[in-house]
Amino acid sequence: MATRNGYFDNGATSYPKPPECAEYIARYLSECGGTYGRGSYERVLRATDMVERCRERMAEIMGVAEPASVTFGCNASFGVAVILRGFDFRHGRVLISPLEHNAVTRELEMLRQTMSLTVEVAEHSRDGAIDIPRLKAQNIDAYDMVIVCHQSNVNGLTQNLDGISEAVGGRAPLFVDMSQSLGHVEPRLDDRNVDFAIWTGHKGLLGPTGVGGCFIRNHEKVRPLVLGGTGSNSDSYEMPNRVPDKFEAGTPPLVPIAGLLGSLENRPENRHSRNDFHALLERCKAIKSLTVLCADDTAMQGELFSVVCDKMSVAMLNHRLWHEYAIECRSGLHCAPLAHKTLGSMPHGSVRISPSPYHTKEDFDALATALEEICR
């Protein structure tokens, strides 16, 4: 009997990774080990080249023409801090989607408390999809920024970025959280005139933890957050006014960058079809005691959704999935209380199902069967 892949928590972090992820890390550590940009000998040149090749790959994936506008840090939350803490909020007002993650909402709450930033939620339908006509009709010029979680980490809803970009129409900077969507959906940031974005390497990109960051279209609009050595302009006590150095103080995360490059250059073929995923979703919707948190429009459905069973708590459902069926999921609020509030699943949260390209139809069938048996 084939070993089933019961790991359905790829929304938290992806597993497995392509084998090249670990191979590139091992090769970097055992054969190179150099730092970035701070020397002119072969070891440094190879390490620097590795980082820049990864940056260029990331730029292609994001759909941006200028790789230097892609910043490497430790994760997406770091990227949020870089952008929001360095930005001048002249109007003191931002508009956000109703499905934002705490990576964004916690920074905004801090700004609300310290500088009285007003945070408003865009009008939306019951699954959290932003109402595009109503967005267009709003006085966007009165906002400092429009912030959109591209794909919800709770119900998998993928916002209509074309429509949002058109509705915003350049009247305010557009900030996109790609933490969940990157690797699954093309963000096409240049096509959509996105000004800021955050990303992480360890979810849809199948890379290791420890690398993520941001995209900043015009670096003049953001002051640097972390100040330190860059290996450039070293005679000055000020950060260089040039990207990527301006936002990359200190030694970059070379080890996870190596792994990320390995994953990006060796992405596996998807082992299931879109129809297989939708069949799983339909089987879950057919379970009477289960409420499925997902997009109302299947065209907006990413490969992630949540469930709540009215016969037991989410913690108990999660417990039984693991202990009786070896199925690994995350239960709770998923660091997205605003999303759960929007979807009506506060305060209990949900059990989240987030597959990866490695799942097969048979893995989905086993999961659906487990849910049917537990929830009958």
Residues 15-44 that bind another protein (CB under 8 A): 36-41, 44
Among 31, 88, 235, 310, binds another protein (CB under 8 A): 235
Identity of the residue, 42 or 186, whose beta carbon is nearer to another protein in the bound complex: 42
Cβ 243 to another protein shortest distance, Å: 8
Q: 129 or 243: whose CB is closer to another protein?
A: 243
> Please, what is the minimum distance in Å from the beta carbon of residue 192 to another protein?
24
Q: Which residue in the set 79, 213, 244, 302 belongs to the binding site for another protein (CB under 8 A)? A: 244
Least distance (Å) from another protein to the CB of residue 255?
A: 18
Q: Which residue's CB is nearer to another protein, number 39 or number 332?
A: 39
Tell me which stretch binds another protein (CB under 8 A): 171-179, 238-246, 268-276, 368-376.
238-246
Q: Which of 198, 183, 189, 181 is nearest to 84 (CA)?
A: 198
- Residue 170 — left, alpha, or beta (φ > 0 → left; ψ -120 to 50 → alpha)? left
Question: Which CB atom, from 64 or from 84, has the smaller least distance to another protein?
Answer: 64
Q: Which is nearer to another protein, 127 or 245 (CB)?
A: 245
Neighbours of 60 (CB within 10 A): 11
Q: Name the one range near another protein by CB under 8 A: 123-131, 192-200, 230-238, 271-279.
A: 230-238
Shortest separation between residue 34's beta carbon and another protein, angstroms: 12
Q: Which helix (H) or strand (E) holds 292?
A: strand 290-293
The distance of closest approach from Cβ of residue 234 to another protein in the complex, given in angstroms and rounded to an integer, is 5
Residues 55-84 that bind another protein (CB under 8 A): 55, 67-68
Q: Edge-to-edge, what's the strand order for the sheet holding 290-293?
A: 290-293, 305-309, 350-353, 330-332
Nearest to 326 by CA among 334, 316, 318: 318
Amino acid letter at 56? E
What is the length of the chain?
A: 376
Among 233, 273, 298, 369, binds another protein (CB under 8 A): 233
Peptide bond between residue 16 and the one before it cis (omega within 30 degrees of 0): yes
Element (H, E) at 291: strand 290-293
- Tokens matching residue 169: 């129409």
Q: How far is the CB of 108 from another protein (least distance, A)?
A: 31
* CB-CB contact of 98 with 226 (8 Å): no
Total residues interacting with another protein, rule: CB under 8 A: 25
Task: Name every residue whose Cβ is closer than 8 Å to that of residue 313 and which is 6 or more positions away in sequence.
Answer: 348
Give the three-state DSSP class for 47: helix
- Cβ 37 to another protein, closest distance in Å? 3
Q: Find out whether 106 and 155 touch, Cβ atoms under 8 Å.
A: no
Residue ranges binding another protein (CB under 8 A): 36-41, 44-45, 48-49, 51-52, 55, 67-68, 230-235, 240, 242, 244-245
